[in-house]
Amino acid sequence: MMHIQEFAKKIGVSPETIRHYERIGILPQAVRAENGYRIYSESDIEQLRFINRARQLHFTLDNIAEILAFREDGTLPCAYVQELITSKISEVETRIQELEMLRSELLELNKLPQELQINETTDCICQIIETDKDN
């Protein structure tokens, strides 16, 4: 049994994160000691580790709540999780393409100061950003 500070430190989250997870229901309300302090068990640690790992994988809190609901109902959530992973892979691939396009554009913009006649007296805010190489 441990208090919230120790619990938070053990997992690497803030006590406020734990309180938030309790408020939204993805972490069960902690048992309270006579003095009102929250007390956590090993099963709470296991659940918070799961939540923390799912967050690292960019699962939303709603996704995590749904996964936990499967388990609470006695159903294995693996098929649902597999669907989420497939969707996340697609999202990541799209984001990678967007980032590659952004990188190319930034590399082109980075060359502009050498190509442009930078004129500090112009009415534009910044010639580098306002230059559209496509036009």
pLDDT digits (tens, 9 = 90+) for 61-90: 999 999 999 999 999 999 999 999 999 999
Residue that wins the pLDDT comparison between 96 and 41: 96
Ranges of CATH 1.10.1660.10 domains, the chain: 4-59
User: Is the pLDDT reported for residue 110 higher than 90?
Assistant: no
User: 3-47: per-residue pLDDT in tens?
Assistant: 889 988 988 999 999 999 999 999 988 888 888 888 888 889 999
Global confidence as pTM: 0.75
pLDDT at 116: 63
Cβ-contact 26, 64 below 8 angstroms = yes
**H/E run at residue 128:** helix 127-130
Of the candidate CATH numbers 3.40.50.720, 3.30.70.2740, 1.10.1660.10, 3.50.50.60, the domain formed by 4-59 belongs to 1.10.1660.10
* Closest CA relative to residue 77, chosen from 90, 88, 87, 64: 64
CA-to-CA dists, residue 130 to 10, 48, 94, 115, angstroms = 49, 47, 26, 14
